[in-house]
Amino acid sequence: MTPIPMTPDMMIVFGFLICVTLVFIFDLVRVDMVGLLMMVLLPLSGVISPAEAISGLSSSAVVAIIATMIIGEGLDKTGVMNHLARIIIRVAGKSETRIMALISASAAFTSSFMQNIGAAALFLPVTNRICRQVNVPVSRVLIPMGYCVVLGGCVTLVGSSPLILLNDLMAAFWSNNHDLVGGKPFEPFGLFSVTPIGLSLVATAILYFMVLKKIVLPPVSLKNETLCLLDKELECTYGREIHQAYELRVPAGFAVKRLDELFIRPKYHSTVICICKKGANDSRYRVNVPSRSDIIEAGDILGIISNEDHIHRLTRDLGWDLQEELNHMGEILSPDNAGIMEAIVTPRSELVGKTLHALYFRKRYQVNPLALFQRGTVLFEDISETKIQPGDALLLFGEWEKFHLIRQKKDLAFTEHIKDEILHPEKAGFAAASFALALVLALGFKVDLPIALLTGAITMILTRVLTLDEAYRGVDWMTVFLLAGLIPFGLAFEKTGAALYLSTSLAHLMTGLLTPLTLFLLIGLLTSFFTLVTSNVGATVLMIPLAMNMALQCGADPRMAALLVGLAASNAFILPTNQVNSLIMRPGGYKIADYVRAGSGITLLFIIVVMTIMYFFYGISA
Residues 122-172 have pLDDT tens digits of: 888 889 888 887 878 899 999 999 999 999 999 988 778 788 778 888 888
What's the pLDDT at 229? Answer: 65
Residues in CB range of 11: below 8 A, 6 or more apart? none
Burial class (CB in 10 A: 0-12, 13-18, 19+), 497: middle
pLDDT of residue 338: 85
Provide the whole-model pTM.
0.71
In order of 174, 357, 358, 454, 495, the CA distances from 265 in angstroms are 81, 14, 18, 53, 73
**Opening angle at CA 308, ends 304 and 313, nearest 5:** 80
- How far apart are alpha carbons 420 and 437 in whole angstroms? 28
Classified as helix, coil or strand, 157 is coil
Residue 289 zone, left/alpha/beta (φ > 0; ψ -120 to 50; rest): beta
Summarised one tens digit per residue, pLDDT across range 399-440 is 888 998 898 888 999 988 887 666 788 999 999 999 899 888
d(CA 179, CA 566): 24
Helices (H), strands (E): how many in the chain? 25, 12
DSSP 3-state helix, strand, coil percentages of the chain (rounded to 5)?
Answer: 60, 10, 30
| pLDDT score, position 88 | 86
Output the pLDDT for position 216. Answer: 94
pLDDT for the residue numbered 602: 96
Which of helix, strand or coil describes residue 388? strand
171-176 contacts, C-beta under 8 A, 24 or more apart: 173/544, 173/545, 173/548, 173/549, 173/558, 173/562
The answer to whether residues 246 and 287 touch, using CB atoms and an 8 Å cutoff, is no
pLDDT of residue 219: 81
Cβ(591)–Cβ(548) below 8 Å: no
Q: Phi and psi of 339, rounded to 5°?
A: 180, -170
Q: Give the three-state DSSP class for 537.
A: helix
Residue (of 541, 502, 537, 538) closest to 522 by Cα position: 502
| 393-399 β-sheet, strand order | 377-379, 368-374, 393-399, 338-345, 412-414
CATH for 232-322 is 3.30.70.1450
Coil/strand/helix, residue 40 = helix
Residue type, 337: N
User: What pLDDT is recorded for position 420?
Assistant: 63
CB 211 within 8 A of CB 320: no
Angle at 183 between CA 181 and CA 184, to 5 degrees: 80
Q: How far lies 328's CA from each of 263, 274, 490, in Å?
A: 23, 10, 50
Q: Of 3.30.1960.10, 1.10.3720.10, 3.40.47.10, 3.30.70.1450, which CATH number belongs to 338-414?
A: 3.30.70.1450
Q: How many CB atoms lie within 10 A of CB 495?
A: 17
Cα distances (angstroms) measured from residue 111 to each of 147, 154, 468, 520, 587: 11, 9, 28, 26, 20
Distance CA 145, CA 587 (A): 13
Q: In sequence order, what are the residues at sequence separation of 6 or more whose Cβ sits closer than 8 angstroms to the Cβ of residue 98?
A: 91, 92
Residues with pLDDT less than 50, the chain = 221-227, 622
pLDDT of residue 1: 56
CATH 3.30.70.1450 domain position(s) in the chain = 232-322, 338-414
